Chains A and B, each alone.
Chain A
């Protein structure tokens, strides 16, 4: 494997010869005729708008200031319809394979028998839920909502960085970003044919409806949140209201004879589909963590009995950890008999002696991640770390090599972004949201995250990253 040290990044707007890419042509012309200071003013307006709408994340504390805004960037990221269609096909293929994999490992485990994936990797994984063995889920779908993180390194070169199959978040920002852009720049939307994303909640509702237990014709659907102190609470409330369903907490529900009910003003009402934004461990104190008060006692038994659908299913984490990630291209071949349309990032497994040796020798060039980490925490970005940081991280690796994987430092594409000094290139990634019910659906686009610090490759909102509107232009 070779590593990329030369800092030549693919620019979403301009190619190597500083020529504006076709799809950005209109936007570029519009940008050039803007009077000075317009973008700054619109940026300030956008921030006010977000503050007023309360589109916030992070922990809710005493002071009003402790609800943070995710910085919103007003320069859109633009895809052409054709390049989007290719991504879309690849995403559907990947999610289809991941769901087939989950069904398989919780049933016959053919993929282990065939020797494609090691038994230890699956059955020894802490995210594997043996309680799920043999349970049949509607449509055989485990991850009804998947967030697939993509990065681009060249015009036609995309990599999947991560599959998020547990409770992926961010879709509310995708929708609010569009909403905000349309308010701020109506003239831009008049001169571009941007494919709409606003129907995502309807698509989600359709997906959840299709996922109801068999023989339920008019299912009662709810969104389950850990509560208003959760960092993604805004999103939970947003999605419930957009779908017109109840936003419930564990305390609002109870189980009777393996059926789930919620307390309503008219008495108990049965619930059939729960879009839950609560992690497996906290769903049911009788089945999982007994010290948790967030869940509903008996919920898992009701789920096992097929009386309620949880979206996503229990035990999906085993398919999205960073070690299982390595096998996804194999899964696609194994289950679908197709060649993968999206590539994985080349990855070293530090549980393997050869890989470990190589990685330890090349730490300053690599990105090292915890197998079960998320949110950009606990990773080492070699090229931007000090010698001391690298040395300290090395000790952590040596203590438990199997908990880490390493990847080359990818030359993530950049997109023009409003920063203090004006419009400048910043690194971006993309999280499209893929919905699986009876069929697989996604809206054109996704959430583009942008690293606001110059040179930074970390786009996570918990690490100070921002977001942008993502356009797919009709052709």
Chain B
């Protein structure tokens, strides 16, 4: 497969997954805002969380100042100036898809294209009570994209690159959600195992569609450690780090190739750590430290993948350099 095609497939999937996760993050923020939070400056406190998760707090402040619910939602949802807003992600996903129309099925293209066209019919001044519908719509479109992909694409490396993008992005997002929320919910380390608000933890679980799974698996009150275990270590939980790394590792094995050895090694190590790890190890390291290291590894893995498959220009360019030489004379 053409390296540029692989690059676009990888990013198309990442952008869609990112749009979905941003919708999830905003959705849970909106739910949380409806609940009582007994601290000073509660609104700003709550609304910095989604900005921090997506790493766009600084650029938000430049444009809007203090974090307020509808501003944050618009900035993260609809603002074309924010390169990681849902709007920008869906736009980029469409550009990626458009660049590789030949490599995806027409049904995949239609889902992405009609998503983009519908998004453009939505207005900037969306009513605040329309936000939940908007988040659901984004999630629906993402689900539809995944369904259509699995239902129509040939199971070759095109699909592997789509999976790689999807699950790398999802692992990254789940780790971020868990990290930021953990800090909001547990301002002090002494609170671990204490009586953090049931509803707040519940909304975190809902943000990653894990509430019902939690109930089924633990049949007990919601405790932060179990939430962490569920979202980090349980490989039967579709959005957990473990489940994501299962998929990432499988995709890398399917793609294969000599140049991907480093990426496979890193993914395998990461996967093994999750596969054989226990929640006690995580707590011993400190949850925040654990997640920070995980995010660093994910970023490095992204670089390895890029170097191995997505950009091969550095390998083999004798004529090009001769040409450059001629120009300089």
Contact = CB atoms under 8 A, between A and B. Distances in A.
Contact of B102 (A54, A246, A286): A246
Interface stretch (A74-82, A250-258, A318-326): A250-258
A53 B5 contact: no
A88 B259 CA distance: 52
Contacts of A249: 4
Nearest to B111: A52
Interface string A249-270: 1011011100001111111100
A256 B320 CA distance: 9
Interface stretch (A132-140, A237-245, A432-440): A237-245
B276 interface: no
A265 B309 contact: yes
A115 to B, nearest CB: 42
Interface in A398-424: none
B259 A267 contact: yes
Interface string A32-73: 000000000000000000011110000000001000000000
B316 A265 contact: no
A238 B255 CA distance: 26
A251 B4 contact: yes
Contacts of B144: none
A254 B102 contact: no
Interface string B95-116: 1001111110010011001101
A256 B318 contact: yes
B309 A54 contact: no
Given A263-B2, A298-B323, A268 B316 contact: yes
Contacts of B59: none
Interface residues of B, number: 38
A267 B114 CA distance: 35
Nearest to A286: B323
Interface residues of A, dominant DSSP: mixed
Interface in B263-320: 309-310, 312-313, 315-320
B210 interface: no
Contacts of A241: 101-103, 106
B213 interface: no
Contacts of A265: 1-3, 6, 157, 255, 257, 309-310, 312
Chain B CB count within 10 A is highest, among A53, A234, A261, for: A53
A219 interface: no
Contacts of A223: 102
Contact of A52 (B103, B110, B326): B110
A256 B316 contact: yes
B313 A263 contact: yes
A266 B319 contact: no
Contacts, number: 99
Contacts of B102: 223, 237-238, 240-241, 245-247
A170 interface: no
Contacts of A234: 101
B117 A264 contact: no
B315 A267 contact: yes
B43 to A, nearest CB: 34
Given A54-B113, A247-B102, A252-B3, A298 B315 contact: no
Contacts of A266: 1, 257
A254 B316 contact: yes
A52 B114 contact: yes
Contacts of A233: 98
Contacts of A54: 98, 109-110, 113
A457 B169 CA distance: 54
Contact of A297 (B5, B116, B323): B323
Contacts of B103: 241, 247
Given A52-B114, A266-B257, A252 B319 contact: no
A329 interface: no
B328 to A, nearest CB: 13
Interface of A: 51-54, 64, 223, 228, 233-234, 237-238, 240-241, 245-249, 251-252, 254-256, 261-268, 285-286, 290, 297-298
5 contacts: A52-B117, A238-B101, A238-B102, A263-B312, A266-B257
Given A234-B101, A241-B103, A247-B103, 13 more contacts: A51-B117, A53-B110, A53-B113, A64-B117, A64-B120, A237-B98, A241-B101, A246-B1, A247-B102, A248-B2, A261-B316, A265-B1, A265-B255
